[in-house]
A and B are shown apart, each in its own frame.
Chain A
């Protein structure tokens, strides 16, 4: 159990269930947190569960499943108001009891609720095409990460969801999920007595059987996919192979490179593609340090999509060819340092950070991290730039009549 003491006006209880990310279990891990937070042995349906949360001053659960390297992490977080502010000395005990029930108190699942959650996921699939940006992102991932776990939806495939039974899910929950490695984090103003109380009901276990890995396939000749639909814009997605990972020595240089390329309003993409050429409203890059890739995304003027695509490609080539300058590096460092300090004032970020640091065995202080960023040189960026290779281009665009 990890405690973070601070002065926030809310308290968070979080658990992270960690296991290998595998094709066969993805659908279970997607549906489980949704189902666990809808009912328990004592709170038999959603209505009763929501009444309970409302009675706890609008306490709420947030659950999600995500990939971190080769792991699948299911997180369930309960946020409550600080009992001292509302002067309710029962609140903490009631919240802890509810958190405990949601995680462990399920002899079997309510079949109706299981079917309901299943229907919701299926309907999400059925409307994916309506949400053009989400659709473009999903298709781009399918192509860029073809043959890799990242290319497969976190929810499992539509086929997986359709054939899933409540009995299979119950079996996975009891036989596998509850035996996952688990990390608990409590974040907020918590007394020592309450700390002991919390520790007595949750068993923290961070022993991972499988080593943490970050890999991706080698780069390939550029794959270009264009798809036409009914829409007013064209969405461009460019995937770059960039083998620099979270624990590599070039990691900070890679983050700075991404910032300079498309991470903030002073980035090259923002200045050139949006401000100078007026081709779009949004253009940005994002660096996935667990997968070693940089992805560029932009919604551009339909009539100028080919020009915009070439302009983005050329901008990256120029950056690789000519490098970056000292001023750009200094601005990016200032921005990156600001982002780090700013995140330390965010309770949810601190909760997750505690988990990630233990998962990756990190013990550097934030001051050490800022120092490491300060030490990044132009040469480090040059070295990082040499690793960028264009790999996949995906374009979703409207037709001539749109």
Chain B
């Protein structure tokens, strides 16, 4: 077990690598502390729709990773939740574009719950009956999101920006695509992507290191073989947009505007990619964050309300920025925001704001360490990016004002889509 200490933040990480390749990273918290957070992540997410096998290329329906996440909880003896409940722990799972995570939060019975979590993940149980039953449940989940106007706009915006990249589909898939999921589809992706070799286990909070070491040693003997996951094939996405401008009439109280900026991903080292993501996020905060001149102006001119938000996505071969607002003057707002992003930005940025935001990001990092779930999530995220959560502060120090202005050059009018939901 390798021990790494980060004194400034009073944090320690123990790393364990099993013979089968599974990685276990433990982030202990000193007593008095009650909670243990365990997350097992598998690098198989909503973007992994097409993959190369030894003999051919397989294609799966949109939403397969999310469907599999639901069905991992099915076991021959019944729902895995029953045993978690017996143990008094809170279990859950989530699917993102690039990974699926299974987790539990415990204040007792950590080792039995860990044992059950691995049993659940190592016992695929997909039948026609339980897969068909799950289609109804997932359909209701998708419909729930489709009743949210922001999700509807976001889905449409992805279709306007992307020709073929799977980012254009919701993580859960569509009402039609989930109907094509079968036990065979789930079994195939399970066999190819869920092998212990591909898993990262993050354990944070109250831990018994000796007990954990012993547990993983036994587990390693049970699953000694290594396996390599197949390569995901992503279609080549054209630079251009699918649609630049769409206005839809809707039954809404106030007009809604969404601006999508398609960015061009470029090949970078892991460290440079993290730097780039931070620089873009900082850039957007300086331009449109709560202390920016433009945000104050938008409020003063009654062009936005508290629903205004900015969102960034950085995924394999697809990166974008979304701006959303409810506004009674959408066209005026649209012009100001597009001019800002493509013409005025450089004149509105100051090194003073940049220095302030460096402090903000250091603060946000510390805030994140305060919460077990956020800490474990970010730990996994940066690990999968080939870095470490605790390196982030050093990377932050390396960012220069010029890095932000350089990122501005990637934002071009011809790669901006506009979607308006106009009040009927």
Contacts and interface: CB of A to CB of B under 8 A. Distances in A.
Verify that A and B bind, or say they do not. yes
Contacts of A302: 143
Contact of B370 (A8, A124, A344): A8
Interface of A: 7-10, 45-47, 50-51, 54-59, 79, 81-82, 85-86, 112, 116, 119-120, 123-124, 126-133, 230-233, 264-266, 271, 274-275, 278-282, 299-302, 331, 334-335, 337-339, 341-342, 344-345, 347
Interface stretch (B51-59, B88-96, B182-190, B232-240): B88-96
B132 to A, nearest CB: 9
Contacts of A128: 253
Interface string B1-26: 00000001110000000000000000
Contact of B87 (A51, A334, A339): A334
Interface string B82-112: 1011111111000000000000011110000
Contacts of B296: 45-47
A265 B143 contact: no
A258 to B, nearest CB: 15
Nearest to A300: B140
A57 B305 CA distance: 25
Nearest to B421: A130
Interface stretch (B259-267, B352-360, B384-392): B352-360
Contacts of B91: 265
Contact of A9 (B79, B134, B147, B369): B369
Interface string B130-143: 00011011111101
Given A57-B362, A116-B299, A130 B85 contact: no
A302 B144 CA distance: 11
A161 to B, nearest CB: 14
B8 A47 contact: no
B245 interface: no
A341 to B, nearest CB: 4
9 contacts: A56-B363, A57-B360, A120-B306, A127-B326, A132-B147, A233-B144, A266-B84, A282-B141, A331-B85
A223 B253 CA distance: 29
A55 B147 contact: no
B215 interface: no
B216 interface: no
A302 to B, nearest CB: 8
B366 A51 contact: no
Contacts of B35: 341-342, 345
A281 B366 contact: no
B45 to A, nearest CB: 20
A9 B366 contact: yes
A130 B137 contact: no
A233 B147 contact: yes
Contacts of A8: 370
A24 to B, nearest CB: 26
Nearest to A336: B88
Contacts of A299: 140, 143-144, 147
B281 to A, nearest CB: 13
Contact of B252 (A127, A279, A339, A341): A127
B309 interface: no
B205 interface: yes
A264 B85 contact: yes
A341 B253 CA distance: 43
B138 to A, nearest CB: 7
A301 B141 CA distance: 10
Given A58-B360, A281-B140, A230 B251 contact: yes
Nearest to A270: B81
Most buried by B among A46, A57, A339: A57
Contacts of B86: 331, 334
A347 B370 contact: yes
Given A85-B9, A278-B137, A281-B140, A9 B370 contact: yes
